[in-house]
Amino acid sequence: MRLVLTALVLVTAAPLAAQQQRANNANVQRAVSSINEADYRRRVEVLAHDSMRGRGTPSPELEEVATWIASEFRRFGLRPGGDSNSFMQRYPMRREQIDSQQTYVMIMGGPVGHTQWQAGRETFYGGTLDGAEPTQPVEGPLVVVAGTPADTARPFAGAPRGAIAMMVMAAANMRALNQYVAKAREAGIAGFIVVSNVPRANFNTGMARTMRADLELVVGGAQATAGLPIFVAMDSTVMPVLRAAGEDITAMRGGQVNGVRALQGVNATLQVRRNVLARESAPNVIGILEGSDPQLRNEYVFFTAHMDHEGVAGMQGCRARGADSICNGADDDASGTAGIIELAEAFATMNPRPRRSMVFMLVSGEERGLWGSRYYSEHPTLPLNNTVAAINLDMIGRNWRDTISVIGKEHSTLGETANRVTREHPEIGMQLVDDLWPNERFYFRSDHYNFARKGVPILFFFNGTHPDYHQVTDTADKIDAEKAARIVQMVYYIGLDVANTTERPQWNPQSRAQIVQ
């Protein structure tokens, strides 16, 4: 009798399992088919319309876009993921101006005595690398980094930890400066003095620009990481100090002297102070689709894009061309923003839902320096240690018909997942390629980076730049909506795989050591 019952159960279970599989397949197909060319194009046209005036940060039009995205999330049935049970997370900004009396470079000790270069006169403050602006003076022994270091993997080898690095490089090598500076934190460098040999008129133009009143992000929070301040000075300003220390700046410029050279007994102090003129804020929009698994629903897969652009002529970097004064930002990044909205709608149609929770975040302030994502990374509304992956879409609507670059594939098992899932879906007709422009350092130039530096594995979908990049000619009529919709479908399948796989994506250990703070 038991054998008969067992056989009956097995016969019954097989068709039930097949029915369940068919239902799951239908569930996925219904969701992915909702991502289509017509819907995608319509959303890009809304975001990049002239009436949105380029969605500058901050602006009334950016607020209008954020409100529209929040209404779409509400319509899809997403749960608010912002402040006070809303879809919005607001971050603070201050309109500030450098205090020229309290912002300076001071060098003293050893044979050089004491000298001070004031901002707006002998030097200018060029910003802060990889963290919040320091609130206290940054002090340390002064070392000179001359020419091209022999060991480019360790350009600051020999410098004591906490040193201020004076970078004396030939103009032809200045492009390489970013590669060296990126390795500074692991070497313990505390700040920079970049020595420039550009014509004085060019230097004065750059200095005047930094002395103007401008908006700055207020990161705040106990988790904010102090950054590395960068000051810029001319050869003629720096030369007396180096000469007193027995160094020849001409030999450094000519390449006869290379590498790190400590100035015995000489210390430097870098101080930045600002006057606050006004306070403003801008929005991120966050919607959450709760997962179906009782345990995994407390882990999150993020999908991000930036909804802002450069506004109109006179705002940020936008420049008029003829009668056109609106930088519409259709590819950068209405294309990615429309993709995130499409993904939110597609995942929201699923029943059952993915096992992990899915989070759809549209940030602002990217064009000002990744502000919205930077603020979120320091003030997350969901635990970062439970955020298992972040997939970023920034510029996916132009260039090649059937190819998209996926930056960051080599840094974690997300790359293996993306490659495998792409092979499993040849019907989409999309090829994933690695970073084609490593020297441009795009990995560090969009919002995924603020997740990566906090330990979240990322993928960055990006079609590269083009002649319309940051121009008034980046308009909706140039977007290849059919291609972009297929990219978004591929991202859907990759995100679904990550959400339903019990094991979390894992970093490549070497990559983690280099990227995660």
Q: What is the pLDDT of residues 179-230, one digit of tens each?
A: 677 788 888 999 999 998 889 999 999 999 999 999 989 987 555 677 899 9
Cβ atoms < 10 Å from Cβ of 114? 8
Radius of gyration of the chain (CA): 26
Least confident of 17-26, 89-98, 290-299, 426-435: 17-26
Residues in Cβ contact with 477 at an 8 Å cutoff, skipping those fewer than 6 apart: none
* pLDDT value, residue 151: 77
Q: What is the pLDDT of residues 268-295, one digit of tens each?
A: 999 999 999 999 999 999 999 999 999 9
For 75-125, the DSSP string reads HHTPEE-SGGGSSEEEEEEEEEEE-TTT-EEEEESGGG-EEEEEBTTTEEE
Question: Which domains, ranges and CATH numbers included, belong to the chain?
Answer: 34-93+279-515 (3.40.630.10), 100-272 (3.50.30)
CA nearest neighbour of 486 among 418, 414, 404, 399: 404
Q: What is the mean pLDDT of the chain?
A: 91
Asked if 73 and 265 count as a contact pair (C-beta separation under 8 A), the reply is no
Distance CA(14)–CA(32), nearest Å, equals 27
Distance CA(150)–CA(160), nearest Å, equals 18
Environment class of 309 (CB within 10 Å of its CB; exposed 0-12, middle 13-18, buried 19+) = buried
Residue 408 pLDDT > 80, yes or no? yes
pTM (predicted TM-score): 0.83
